[in-house]
Amino acid sequence: MAKTSLDKSKIKILLLEGVHQSAVDNFLNAGYTNIEHLPTSLDEATLIDKIRDVHFIGIRSRTQLNERVFAAAEKLVAVGCFCIGTNQVDLDAALARGIPVFNAPYSNTRSVAELVLAESIMLLRGIPEKSASAHQGGWLKSAKNAHEARGKSLGIIGYGNIGAQLSVLAESLGFDVIFYDVVAKLGMGNARQVASLEELLARADVVSLHVPDLPSTRWMIGEEQIALMKPGAILINASRGSVVVIEALAEALEAGRLNGAAVDVFPVEPKGNNEEFVSPLRGQANVILTPHIGGSTLEAQENIGIEVSEKLVTYSDNGTTVTSVNFPEVALPAHPGKHRLLHIHDNVPGVLSEINRVLSENDINILGQYLQTNERIGYVVIDVDKDYGPKALEALSRVAHTKRVRVLYSETSFEG
């Protein structure tokens, strides 16, 4: 499907879930003025209706971009997840339509790690229960079940960016850090990798989850795993609600098997701040419940706003896909004085030679060419003389296995 050029002011950007104002400012500074900025996510029917004329969408963790939504998103050029996790997006459905998805892989890492560390200390001291009691006029002055963090074992499941950052902070506080990861990793400081999940659960006083939502991590902590934890241990989940069987956790807390928990993410989360939060963990003693705010600090959100909007602007302006989570990565120089064709096609043999054949047949000289592929698609970027952009667009749109082709004009980078 070929795309004709559009003025930047006609490129529609939809930002949901209260994406930080820094993103809006960045788009405006780059000349993109057609921005709708909403504070919540949208239900599927409303989203399907709205997305039909949207070129770029920005979401956080709540909005579900599934096959049905992509099928309606006829003009969509790229998706920005203003967060780390991308499990809320059907990445295959996006790829099948030649739509790259971007995220912010680091900007809220520190915020999550700081929160988890603070929660570890609070839970080791039984603060949620003592504080709730004091608010009701109670006075639970006691050292029962109250422990220092120093010398306790912190077990981190998933030693990626957040797990490793937490490891450093926790060790500086005196925690003895162990971790379990499916990939062999060098621990930061004195942190040690253990051989199995079972070993970590049996050794740790505080267990903290930092894995992505994957088929292999879904419900990875249930009744059986909780039974392996030390009596009186603490469980923290700031990863995804699909990782812990929440009923099993609620039962273990109620039975006094565990001394406390902090949970930031839930199997079902309210769409916005006006919807009731329902969970079997409500009302449990020594449990910190937070509304998926692990990454919600002003610092993180401002940085994420800048980072992801920059990625979308760069893709729109010059075709660069570096750090896309589903797309072949192409890093591109500017293209002053040239027209740039972006051709996205099924990755089958012969497409590149066909592209070059039709260009040569039309006497279009190639000034630069960049190709990357993944197992599903090929992404080729071709610079041509500025007299040839429209002609090349027309020629390339007829190449077999083309998913999408668009042209970027030299100065007024555009979209279509």
Ligand X SMILES: NC(=O)C1=CN([C@@H]2O[C@H](COP(=O)(O)OP(=O)(O)OC[C@H]3O[C@@H](n4cnc5c(N)ncnc54)[C@H](O)[C@@H]3O)[C@@H](O)[C@H]2O)C=CC1
Q: Which is nearer to ligand AKG, 128 or 295 (CB)?
A: 295
The one among 22, 26, 108, 314 contacting ligand AKG by CB under 6 A: 108
> 158 touches which of ligand X, ligand AKG, none (CB within 5 to 8 A by kind)?
ligand X
H/E stretch holding 36:
strand 35-37
> 60 touches which of ligand X, ligand AKG, none (CB within 5 to 8 A by kind)?
ligand AKG
Q: HSE of 251 in the Cβ direction (CA atoms, 13 Å)?
A: 10
Determine phi and psi for 132, rounding to 5 degrees. Answer: -60, -40
* Stretch touching ligand X by CB under 6 A, among 157-165, 310-318, 351-359, 381-389: 157-165
The one among 120, 242, 284, 296 contacting ligand AKG by CB under 6 A: 296
110 binds ligand AKG (CB under 6 A): no
CA distance 250 to 239: 18
For residue 240, indicate whether it is catalytic: yes
Task: Report the residue number whose CB is nearest to ligand X.
Answer: 160
Query: Is residue 335 within 8 Å of residue 410, measured between CB atoms?
Result: yes
Residues in the chain: 416
Contact flags string 282-311 toward ligand X, x per CB under 6 A: ----------x-xx----------------
The one among 119, 176, 213, 415 contacting ligand X by CB under 6 A: 213
Q: Which is nearer to ligand X, 24 or 112 (CB)?
A: 112
CA distance 171 to 100: 38
Determine phi and psi for 310, rounding to 5 degrees. Answer: -65, -40
- By CB neighbour count within 10 A (0-12 exposed, 13-18 middle, 19+ buried), where does 355 fall? buried
Give residues 266-295 in contact with ligand AKG (rule: CB under 6 A). Answer: 295
212 binds ligand X (CB under 6 A): yes
Q: Which residue has the tokens 């797309």?
A: 327
Q: What count of other Cβ atoms lies within 10 Å of the Cβ of residue 226?
A: 21
Least CB distance to ligand AKG at residue 244 (A): 15
Query: Is residue 111 within 8 Å of residue 295, measured between CB atoms?
Result: yes
* Stretch touching ligand X by CB under 6 A, among 51-59, 175-183, 270-278, 395-403: 175-183
CA distance 35 to 54: 10
For the record, the structure tokens of 96 come out as: 């099948």
For residue 269, indicate whether it is catalytic: yes
The one among 112, 287, 351, 395 contacting ligand X by CB under 6 A: 112
Q: Which of 55, 60, 147, 240 is catalytic?
A: 240
CA distance 36 to 54: 10
* Stretch touching ligand X by CB under 6 A, among 11-19, 144-152, 154-162, 249-257: 154-162
CA distance 30 to 8: 9
CA 198 to chain centre: 28
For residue 147, indicate whether it is catalytic: no
Least CB distance to ligand AKG at residue 339 (A): 37
For the record, the structure tokens of 44 come out as: 């599927």
* Stretch touching ligand X by CB under 6 A, among 105-113, 124-132, 380-388, 396-404: 105-113
Q: Which is nearer to ligand AKG, 59 or 226 (CB)?
A: 59
Give residues 45-104 in contact with ligand AKG (rule: CB under 6 A). Answer: 60-61, 83-85
Q: Which is nearer to ligand AKG, 108 or 259 (CB)?
A: 108
Q: What count of other Cβ atoms lies within 10 Å of the Cβ of residue 241?
A: 18
Query: Is residue 366 within 8 Å of residue 359, measured between CB atoms?
Result: yes
Amino acid at 367: L
User: Which amino acids are annotated catalytic?
Assistant: 240, 269, 292
Q: By CB under 6 A, name the binding residues for ligand AKG.
A: 60-61, 83-85, 108, 295-296
Q: By CB under 6 A, name the binding residues for ligand X.
A: 84-85, 108-109, 112, 157-163, 180-183, 210-214, 216-217, 238-240, 264-265, 292, 294-295
